[in-house]
Structure 1
Amino acid sequence: MSEPRLHSVTCASPAGLHRMAYWEWGEPDNDRVLLCVHGLTRTGRDFDALARRMAPHFRVVCPDVAGRGRSDRLREPAFYAVPQYVADMVTLLARLNPRQLAWVGTSMGGLVGMALGGSAALARRDPRPAPHRPGPALDDAGLRVDRMVINDVGPKMELAALGRIGLYVGQPLAFDSFEQAVAHTREVSAGFGPHTEAQWRELAAHTYVSDGRRWHKHYDLALARPFALPDPAGAVAGELLLWRCYEALDCPVLLVRGAESDLLSAATARQMLARNRRARLLEFAGVGHAPTFMQEDQLQAVSAFLLEP
């Protein structure tokens, strides 16, 4: 199978209902599910190469997170945040009903995975009703992540990298041709490491959309608003909560890091190894933020981890 099926699921936020699109590869009745969640401004089609590799083994599901790609934009941009994304993934998983669940999360998708997987693990440890539970309140209801790949992100993120990302997220760029969009992708995504021209075109194809005249970013520019409203106290609380969720992960974890990453420091990666004994670290030389899982060495390493007994 060379192309995915496009589906959607209706999710809820405090501002109302929204539709989240997702791309599905492999046998639709396979109850071994691999859920792949993309980075801040990307789409589910970032995982095409990995999905093709894993489709004989899993039903591979790659959502366009709310505000990106084929999914609806949120009425209130303040909800473009990890708690809303976790809620949307719980809704999606209720639809998929996996017997086994593997997770691959790049950058933002890794944060969502840590929050969801760790919250479910904490819920299994403490069966008391959520109001009396000291940790994140997510009813387990059978939800369990069996294997997780966290791609170039951690509970602690470098402020300089966050500032760099915040500078371009809300820029209303438009290009007269797809070739210009590809060139811009190559420039702003230099951290992805070396790619062929065909790969750069593939990376641009699903993150820019044409209105018939010009090519525009295929996401809601209002994603930038949370970056424009810094909340130091909230950031500290969020980091502490992510560490708690990460430490609670009770499945094998593969930490992937671009050796030149400016978002996930080497020190934070070492700390992640120390704070969860089920984690192992894999670094790719010549890559920054973040590995794209398009190169053969990256595909081999991730697929080998996902297919371990």
Structure 2
Amino acid sequence: MVNDYTGGFESHYIQVADGLKLYARIYGPENEGLPIVCLPGLSRNSRDFHQLALLLSTQPPAPFRVITIDSRGRGLSDRDEKMERYTIPTEAQDVIAVLDRFGIERAIFIGTSRGGLILHILAATHPERLAGVVLNDIGPVIEIEGLKQIQDYLGKERRPRNFDDAAAILTETHGQSFPTLSEADWRDMVDAIYREIDGKLVADFDPAIAEQFRAADLSQPLPDLWAQFDLFSSLPLMTIRGENSRLLSKRTSEAMAERHPHMRSLTAPGQGHAPILHLADIPSEIQIFLADIH
């Protein structure tokens, strides 16, 4: 464990069964309430949740304990020499290993994009660990158009000269989907996506992940996960969809609400894939959702 109280969290490294070490942050005090576990997207890391985790872990009267995890090959977690192990089932097993390491029997989960797909798998393999779920711009049907968009920008990675250049690149790449973001928001995104290594800014994930994703055949629709989604039916569920998302369609979001009548739905105006969770009214809506989970 490495304490970083100035950042509002503790840093931990957890070794999993195949020998890799995963990085996780813990925000807030240990308490009797249910903790919140945050799972990031394909090429993202725990820094995506930093501002939200600070808020949830300090908000009176009942602050949450929040755990954010870098999936293998992302952020400060070890990179896997075997690229074929960058799979959702393997990463789901990693989540269980982290829970076991921290002695967490049940938790509320927030999953962005790939993190939400991991939660679909956990609903099938470890339903007893799920106390409630927030799905951020992901569902049981993934639109090929959205996957192709991700495939496209992963295939055109540009090396920024500095942080200002990185912000300009992100604005150029994603600005159409996120018209409401401020200059400070784009800079926050830079801090979440990039890390300075040997004086150079690099995207903070194993290039093999992008290589694997670029090689994926997107000529045919992917199998849906409706059977796994239906396993959320007994759980408190909230979904967040970016207004401009190409990955989670409005049609699919509406179908999810029909199958889970008590699902809390939120559209993030002026955001695409995937919504930034600490902006606008999203944190207060998440807190309303969390208040009813026991």
TM-score, normalised via structure 2 length: 0.88
Instruction: Give the C-alpha shift of residue 207 in structure 1.
Output: 1.7
Contact 1:260/1:289, CA 8 A, preserved across alignment: yes
The one-letter code of the counterpart of 2:15 is T
Determine whether 1:230 maps to 2:217.
yes
Partner of 1:64: 70
Partner of 2:140: 155
Instruction: Give the C-alpha shift of residue 20 in structure 1.
Output: 0.9
Alignment of 1:217-296 (within 5 A): 217-227=203-213, 228-230=215-217, 235-236=222-223, 239=224, 242-249=225-232, 250-296=234-280
Alignment counterpart, residue 186 of structure 2, candidates 178, 200, 215:
200
Residue-by-residue CA offset, 1:107-149 (whole Å, 9 max, x unaligned): 111111121124333xxxxxxxxxxxxxxxxxxxxx3211110
- Stretches of structure 1 that go unaligned for 5 or more consecutive residues are 122-142
Partner of 2:107: 101
SS in 2 for 1:300: helix
Distance in 1 between residues matched to 2:273 and 2:93, nearest whole Å: 26
Distance in 2 between residues matched to 1:102 and 1:186, nearest whole Å: 32
Instruction: Give the C-alpha shift of residue 235 in structure 1.
Output: 3.6
SS in 2 for 1:281: strand
Residue-by-residue CA offset, 1:11-64 (whole Å, 9 max, x unaligned): 23xxx4211101110014555210011111111111112111111422100111
SS in 1 for 2:109: strand
Total equivalences in the alignment: 281
Distance in 1 between residues matched to 2:244 and 2:143, nearest whole Å: 13
- Stretches of structure 2 that go unaligned for 5 or more consecutive residues are none
Alignment counterpart, residue 10 of structure 2, candidates 5, 29, 34:
5
SS in 2 for 1:174: coil
Distance in 2 between residues matched to 1:144 and 1:217, nearest whole Å: 32
Distance in 2 between residues matched to 1:219 and 1:69, nearest whole Å: 6
Contact 1:41/1:169, CA 8 A, preserved across alignment: no
TM-score, normalised via structure 1 length: 0.84
Alignment of 1:58-137 (within 5 A): 58-98=64-104, 100-121=106-127
CA shift in 2, pair 1:225/1:175, >3 Å: closer
Residue-by-residue CA offset, 1:159-192 (whole Å, 9 max, x unaligned): 0110110122254532221111122222333334
% same residue: 29
Alignment of 1:9-88 (within 5 A): 9-12=14-17, 16-28=18-30, 32-56=34-58, 57-88=63-94
Q: Which moved more, 1:246-255 or 1:199-208?
A: 199-208
Contact 2:142/2:222, CA 8 A, preserved across alignment: no
Distance in 1 between residues matched to 2:31 and 2:93, nearest whole Å: 24
Residue-by-residue CA offset, 1:84-106 (whole Å, 9 max, x unaligned): 11010010111122354111111
CA shift in 2, pair 1:19/1:192, >3 Å: farther
Note the aligned Cα RMSD (angstroms): 2.1
CA shift in 2, pair 1:204/1:243, >3 Å: same
Distance in 2 between residues matched to 1:54 and 1:24, nearest whole Å: 12
